[in-house]
Amino acid sequence: MAEIVLKNVNKRWGNFVGVKDFDLTIPDREFLVLLGPSGCGKTTTMRMIAGLEDPTEGEIWIGDRMVNNVDPKDRDISMVFQSYGLYPNMNVYENIRFPLKVRKVPEAEHKERVMRASAMVELDDFLHRKPAALSGGQRQRVALARAIVREPNVFLMDEPLSNLDAKLRVSTRAQIKNLSHELKVTTIYVTHDQIEAMTLADRVVVMEKGIVQQVGTPTDIYDNPANTFVASFIGNPAMNLMEGELKDGVFTGKNVTIPGLTGSNGPVTLGFRAEDASIATSTGQIDAPVYSMELLGDATMVTVKAGGALVAVKADKEYRSEIGAPVSIAVPAEICHLFDVATGQRLT
């Protein structure tokens, strides 16, 4: 049982607040992703769970014991870092085996456990090589195998894919997803990449400036962002956000008129996803000239400038237009989200 509980955890350095009032229960075997931009507190939170940083206030529980004063080596966790941290003088087999030697696991068990971990990440053909003879993706798999061989209660992964190229990130991401299914170990994964978060997580914690903005499944966060920060951070492209006025159920802004909305009269921020809107065949709700057009293969991304904001919409892959040509965009009321202009919070 490796349920992790953080109770009102804070981390400060002088007047600087790194993490504020972090309060969360991570159930046993959950794959939780801490997501946010650089400096938002996600790595600091992970380091406090690992014991590499001490919380200023609050409690951290792993299983049935509070670990605030427990050394990292006694917390039964394995970490995978952004830098692979491999020993250059050891071959792959010895790098994977090293945690077993340090923890004085009986030597009779070493080969079986190393080979099992190696097979999980498809390294059997590289066990004799040293790290210098491996690609970046292979080195990352060695780091994963070294964490797996420990058979810990908790995995902590700190941006493990950020040093890989785009193609390797996709394949290694799939490998991590499969490993989490096979190993069924509580995992906390730190990333600034929202695609990694959406594809890997059971739940996502979105953070900004040390504060949790929203916790939920990837679908919850994508479909119902709690505020404009989450709306603008999740999604590729991010949610379109436009400021305007809501009066008697009609949103108006420069080049924009969207009827059929529900809410109190006054200034609001309106949001909608690019894939939920479409190029209108007749009169739409947004009329503006084409600002840019990008061919994506499976679709064409059309961007216009309306009301001072860049607004993107996904059109059919065959759609073509010229920059500057007028276009009308259909934005049904049911796909729209409304946010408070002052606070950015979602309006229900």
**Cα Rg, the chain, nearest whole Å:** 24
Distances in whole angstroms, Cα of residue 284 to Cα of each of 175, 195, 301, 311: 44, 31, 17, 14
Whole-prediction pTM: 0.89
Q: Is residue 348 predicted with pLDDT exceeding 90?
A: no
Q: Which pLDDT does position 166 carry in this prediction? A: 78
Within the chain, which residue ranges are assigned CATH 3.40.50.300? 4-230
Q: Is residue 245 predicted with pLDDT exceeding 90?
A: yes
Q: What is the average pLDDT across 188-197?
A: 93
Q: Which pLDDT does position 283 carry in this prediction? A: 85
Percent of the chain whose predicted confidence (pLDDT) is above 70? 100
Q: Which helix (H) or strand (E) holds 313?
A: strand 309-315
Q: Which pLDDT does position 336 carry in this prediction? A: 96
Q: Which helix (H) or strand (E) holds 5?
A: strand 4-13
Q: From CA 22, how far away is CA 209, in angstroms rounded?
A: 12
- State how far Cα 225 lies from the chain centre: 14
Q: What is the average pLDDT across 114-129?
A: 90
Q: From CA 272, how far away is CA 229, in angstroms rounded?
A: 14
Burial class (CB in 10 A: 0-12, 13-18, 19+), 64: exposed
Matching residue, tokens 């799939």: 174
Domain 237-340 annotated CATH 3.40.140.80: no
What residues contact 12, with CB distance under 8 A and at least 6 apart? 18, 56
CB 48 within 8 A of CB 62: no
Its CATH architecture, for the domain 4-230, is 3-Layer(aba) Sandwich (3.40)
Q: From CA 70, how far away is CA 77, in angstroms rounded?
A: 12
Reported as a single tens digit per residue, the pLDDT across 256-283 is 999 999 989 999 999 999 999 999 888 8
β-partners of residue 340 are 268
Strand pairing report for 250-253 and 256-258: antiparallel
* Helix locations, the chain, DSSP H: 42-50, 92-102, 110-120, 136-149, 166-183, 194-200, 218-223, 228-233
Q: What is the average pLDDT across 185-213?
A: 95
Q: Which pLDDT does position 1 carry in this prediction? A: 58
Q: What is the average pLDDT across 154-182?
A: 84
Count the Cβ atoms, other than its own, within 10 Å of residue 141.
25
Within the chain, which residue ranges are assigned CATH 2.40.50.140? 237-340
Average pLDDT, the chain: 92
Q: Which pLDDT does position 147 carry in this prediction? A: 87
